[in-house]
Each structure stands twice: as C-alpha cells, then as structure tokens.
A and B are shown apart, each in its own frame.
Chain A
Amino acid sequence: MARVKNWQLGREMSYWYPESRPQKQFAAVFDTNKCIACQTCTLACKTTWTSGKGQEYMLWNNVETKPYGSYPLAWDLNLLSLLDGQNWGEEDGKPVYKGSTIFESAPAGERVMAWRPDEEDYAYPNVGEDDCAGGIEHGASIEIPHQMAWFYYLARICNHCTYPACLASCPRGSIYKRPEDGIVLVDQGRCRGYQECVRGCPYKKVFFNPMTATSEKCIACYPKIEQGLSPQCFANCIGKIRMAGFINTPDKAQADNPIDYLVHIKKVALPLYPQFGLEPNVYYIPPIHVPTAFTKQMFGPGVDKAVEVYRNAPNDQDLTSLLGLFGSTEAIVRKWKRVGEKAIGMDENGKELVDVPFKEPVHIRPAYDKLHQITRTNCP
C-alpha cells in the first residue's frame, strides 16, 4: 500500500494506489436541513439511467430517513460495527483521526475492510421511513421542543471519492477515476462482475446488474457535467438542497468557489463518514436539530462548528447569499459573489449565470382586476 494525504483525516493514510488527484474534482454540497424526502432526485436518476433490465433495484440516488433508514439495509451500521476505535484527536488545534480507516483495517487477504449486502438487503428502499429516534409520549407531539424525537433525511449519491474503495477493490482495474473531473466510473467493457466493488464501497453505491453480469454505479451525469450542467438529481431537486461544483484541497481553497467557501472557509459542509478514509466529495450541511453525538459519528468532529455557522446564517450576509444560489440554475456555478443583497452565480470565466436576491420581491395582486372588471378568486 502507498501512503497518501487525506486532508479530511488531518493525516496521511494507507491506500492501495499512490496519491493521484485529478485536474479538478467534482464535488457537491447537500443541505440536509432543506430536504423533504420527496424522492424527486431518486426518480430523476431512475428515469434517466436505471430503467433497464437488471437495474430494477438500483438506486444510484436515494434518500433515507436517519437514524433508521438505509439502502441497502444497514449499509452504515454494518461497517461501523466492524471498524474499531473511530476516535478523533487534535494536533495544532486541528482535528486528526486517530482510528483506522477501512484500508488500514483490511484483514489478511482483503484489500479493504468491508461486508457484502445480501440480496434481501436491497428489498427495502427506506425501511424506517419517517420513524423518529425516540418514542413520543401521549400529548408530547404538540409540545415544542420535542425531546430526542428527531429524524432527518439523508440524500445520497456516489461520493466520487478521492480514494475510492470500489476502485481499490477491483482486482482487474476495471474502475477508474477520470483525471479531468475526478468522476469515478466502472468500465463496462472491462468489468467481469466479480462484485468486489459492491463489497468494497462502504457507501454501497455500486450495484450488480444480474442481466449484464457487470457492476454499475452513479456516473455523476458526466455527459451533463461536460457541458457545464448539474446532474439530474441536482437539477430536479425541488427543495433546492444541492449545489454541484468542484473542490480544491484546503491549501488551495478559493473564496469565490462556492464549494470551497462552504467546505473550507465557512466549514459548514462536512464529509459523510470521513473516518472510512475515502475522502468523499459530497459534503453535507448537518441537520441542526439532531443531537450532535449522532451527527459527529456521521460527519466528523466539525459538526458543532457547522451547526453554529448555519444557525448564524441570518447574520452572515455572504453565507445567506451563497445558500440562496442552491438550485437557482441548472448550470454549475463555478464562482460566486455577493453584491448588496443579491447573490451572483458565474461560470468559470466569470460570466454571470444567475442572480438571486436575499428576499424575493412580493407582488400583491388585488382581489378586483380593474382592467378586466372582474373579481379574482383563488378557487379553480
């Protein structure tokens, strides 16, 4: 194994291949506080990519209710129970992961620490949907605040990791990471369906197609990315919880890059299970109403800070401005700036794509239309 730098862990770690970062890395920020689990993203992906034979059960995008929801069943709990000592420490005021990653914990004969889902584990797209973490006593449901009666929605796609475990697991090198944008793909001409990637991916975002006997996964809608457009699950998100873009390493963070600003500068968006060691590139603004003992295990030690920053967004015009750009255009916003009380989204050349005011103007339509001399009603 090689030694590579994983900035999310604050240290070097072991990986199957030497460090080789792409020219730019596809990344995304999901705001869990805005997701309503309408599954429009899931359907947008499903109808675009996985409507074929053998793909019936595949959900390259899914939304699950946490703490119980999961697809495939218990994808995260099963691995967390295998991974020992997920402790974080601090060095020079920065968090450092003191535990072992799935690469460092690999048992003899394996490339990664992992487990294989049973066929039945794919039978429940979101078991535990809308089940909250604690019981609600009679009458408590109308009292605020609820104590421990929380749940939230976790939308998931492939994380297009910097250190993909699927890629490391494939014994014949059928999985590759595109140098131009860091998107991780299964070469469908080379795959021989060993399912090692299905086993190896801790996020369980590679699926075996029994009709073609090959494994398939989220492709980040790369034909759209190549045209500067957001993937389908982003463009169709009615909650506008997602922003697509490209991320730099912390030492090269650019304040006018929306993803860099949210992840590196404001530190309001965090990786999913960073302790696995893959340096995943989908970042989550953690739910602000969930006990942080839970979210810290899921998003790492930065949760308290992220929640504080997010709660303070009404007093932070820049952050408010950028959050308003989420879902404002299908184009990928490569740069942004705030002008007064307006957010401007731009392409990589600085050309304006969209502008979004902090507050949408309110138009009051009189009940009586003088022009047409008719009273309007709201009834159809």
Chain B
Amino acid sequence: MRSITSLLILILCFASACKRAQIPTAEVNVAQVKEITLDPNAPVWEAVSLHLSKMIPQDLVEPRLMEPSTPEVQVKAITNGSEIAFRIEWVDETQNDLPGPKHFIDGCAIQLPAKIDPNVPAPQMGEVGKTVEISFWRADWQAIVEGRADTINALYPNASIDHYPSEAKPLEGDPKALEEAGLRYAPARALGNRRAGPRDQPVEDLIAEGPSTISPAPDAISKGKGVRTAKGWAVVITRPLPAGFSAATPSQVAFAIWEGSHNEVGARKMRTGWVPLIMK
C-alpha cells in the first residue's frame, strides 16, 4: 500500500512538472527538431514551450480598430536548422472564410525584421529603410487550397447564372480562348494580382516599410496550414530561417490576428509589439 501511494505521488509530481513546462515564456523560444511540420496537430508541438502574446488593437493609423477583439495568441516555434515553423493558436468562435460584400476573413500573420539589427524596425509594419517580412495566412485561401471550387456557386450555392460571355459556346473546346476571355472580365487576375487568383498556398509573402506600404515579396517562401480547433484556429506557418538568426543572435517576431466576424480587415486588426525570438 505504501509503495502504491509513493507511486501515485511520483506520478502527480511528474504531471505537475509537465504542466510547469507549459507555463508561458516571455519570449518565443525556437526548439530545434529533426523535421518541421505543417500540421498544427502534430505531436512535435506538445513538447515545445509556449509563448502567450497579449494583443492590442491597431490604433496608430486610420482606419483603426476601435474595439478590441482577440485578446491573446498562443505561439510555439520549431526549426530544423534551415526552416522555421510557427504554430499560432487563438480563440475565434466564428469561422469566416467566405469572401463577399461586408464579409471579412479570419487570418493571422507573423512579422520578422528583414535584417537582424539592434536598431529594430517599428513594430507596426516597419519603417522606411527598415523592411519587415510578413507571412500572411487567410482562412479563405485555406478553403481554396483544400478544394473549394473557383466558382460563384462555391460562394453562393443557390446562385443561378444564365450566361457568362467568357464561357460562350464558340469558345468551348479552346482552353486558351476561354482563359483569355475569363481574364477580360477579371482585371485583377489579368494584372497578376496575387490576391485575386486561385491559390496553391494559404499563405502570402509580403514586405513592408511602414503602414500603407505592404506589397508582395519577390519570392513565395512561406507555406502554411490552418485548422479549426474546438475554440478557434490553429495555424502553422513555415518559412526559411531568417538570415543570421542563431542561438547567439536572437531576433524579434510580431503577430497579428484578423477576426472576420468583427469586420477586421487590412489595418483593422489586433497586433502585438515585437517579441524576442530566441533559438534554444
């Protein structure tokens, strides 16, 4: 009996120790692993230390977010030495992934300084001469990547359309002519606006040098995957390890969350300041 009691005490102590390991850290500690993953539910995340970032409304430039929404975001990070993966989890009761008038999309973003320097860029999207790199995940892109069709009926199942000139009878059987006709009525796609077209990744790479300057990054380097959890979203974003980032040279990272049902889009978002990013 005494030995059983001792065993129970030991188990309780071990469990308690495990819980203590999940006490949030003040910084984002990047754990070194053999293989990184895009899966937010992969077991590898369980042993990684947790960072809890309090969020504030974007209230520096118009249009501002005047009512706070998402209060905090849970972050974990791993690296395999060449790539880094962030797991971001937050509470969001509503799934907003259908675009439309006054329909806004759930999303999240990570932001890193383009160069590791003691003189860090402004946390609000950088500043002139101090570029930030942003990896931006959106719920509608996730749905597209997972197979949602590029049709109006995928957005409005009861829509009834008599005819599109871009799909006129004479064009049938000529894929090139069909594509050209389709682009004629979709100028954003014709201009190569990455925001506008069908996608093969739910994440977009962007750069910025301050508010209003966000623009597509030269290369698509990020990947991602988001899943619904019982309470909201869990998203993994992977990208190459920032140049110069090592155990001896820490960096910073910042996060942003858009809650679609709260009409959050663009500058209307919840954000963090810079958080230390440390290789363990």
Contacts and interface: CB of A to CB of B under 8 A. Distances in A.
Nearest to B215: A190
Interface in B98-122: 98-104
Contact of A195 (B64, B101, B211): B101
Contacts of A141: none
Given A119-B103, A171-B267, A213-B99, A52 B63 contact: no
Given A111-B63, A189-B192, A196-B266, A212 B161 contact: no
Contacts of B187: 188, 212, 216
Contacts of A110: 62-64
A51 to B, nearest CB: 5
Interface residues of B, number: 46
B102 A117 contact: yes
Contacts of B100: 119, 208, 210
A108 B61 CA distance: 11
A51 B62 contact: no
B21 interface: no
Contact of B188 (A189, A194, A195): A189
A198 interface: yes
| Residue with the greatest number of chain B CB neighbours at <10 A, chosen from A110, A118, A210, A211 | A211
Interface in A186-200: 188-196, 198
Contact of B196 (A108, A169, A214): A214
A195 B66 contact: no
A53 B161 CA distance: 9
A172 B195 contact: no
A269 to B, nearest CB: 32
B145 interface: no
A109 interface: yes
Contacts of B179: none
A235 B104 CA distance: 38
B193 interface: yes
B58 to A, nearest CB: 10
B193 A188 contact: yes
A172 B193 CA distance: 15
Contacts of B47: none
Interface string A228-271: 00000000000000000000000000000000000000000000
Contacts of A172: 212-214, 266
Name the prevailing secondary structure of the A interface residues.
loop
B184 to A, nearest CB: 8
A169 B61 CA distance: 12
B228 interface: no
A116 interface: yes
B25 to A, nearest CB: 33
A192 B187 CA distance: 13
Interface residues of A, number: 40
Contacts of B102: 116-119, 195
B212 A171 contact: yes
Given A51-B164, A171-B211, A171-B267, A212 B101 contact: no
A191 B63 contact: no
A289 B101 CA distance: 37
B186 A109 contact: no
Contacts, number: 128
A122 interface: yes
B5 interface: no
Contacts of A211: 150, 152, 155, 186
A56 B165 CA distance: 12
B195 A122 contact: no
B193 A191 contact: yes
A212 B63 contact: no
Given A117-B102, A171-B63, A193-B99, A52 B186 contact: yes
A118 B186 CA distance: 23
B268 to A, nearest CB: 8
Interface string A53-68: 1111000000000000
Most chain A CB within 10 A, of B65, B140, B164, B186, is at: B186
B211 A212 contact: no
Contact of B266 (A50, A55, A192, A207): A192
Given A111-B62, A171-B211, A213 B101 contact: no
Given A109-B66, A198-B101, A192 B195 contact: yes
A191 B195 contact: yes
Contact of B101 (A50, A108, A119, A188): A119
A303 B151 CA distance: 47
Given A122-B101, A192-B266, A212 B62 contact: no
A173 interface: yes
A189 B152 contact: no
Interface string A156-175: 00000000000001011100
Contact of B66 (A55, A108, A214): A108
Given A110-B63, A171-B63, A211-B186, A188 B191 contact: yes
User: Which of B150, B190, B193 is most buried by chain A, counting CB atoms within 10 A of its CB?
Assistant: B193
A173 B215 CA distance: 12
Contact of A54 (B165, B186, B213): B186
B275 interface: no
A55 B159 CA distance: 12
Interface of B: 59, 61-66, 98-104, 140, 150-152, 155, 159, 161, 164-166, 182, 184-193, 195-197, 211-214, 263, 265-267
5 contacts: A108-B66, A110-B63, A191-B195, A192-B195, A212-B186
Given A52-B164, A52-B185, 15 more contacts: A53-B152, A53-B185, A109-B59, A171-B266, A188-B188, A192-B195, A195-B265, A207-B101, A210-B98, A210-B155, A211-B155, A212-B188, A212-B189, A213-B188, A214-B188
Interface of A: 47, 50-56, 108-111, 116-119, 122, 169, 171-173, 188-196, 198, 207-214, 216
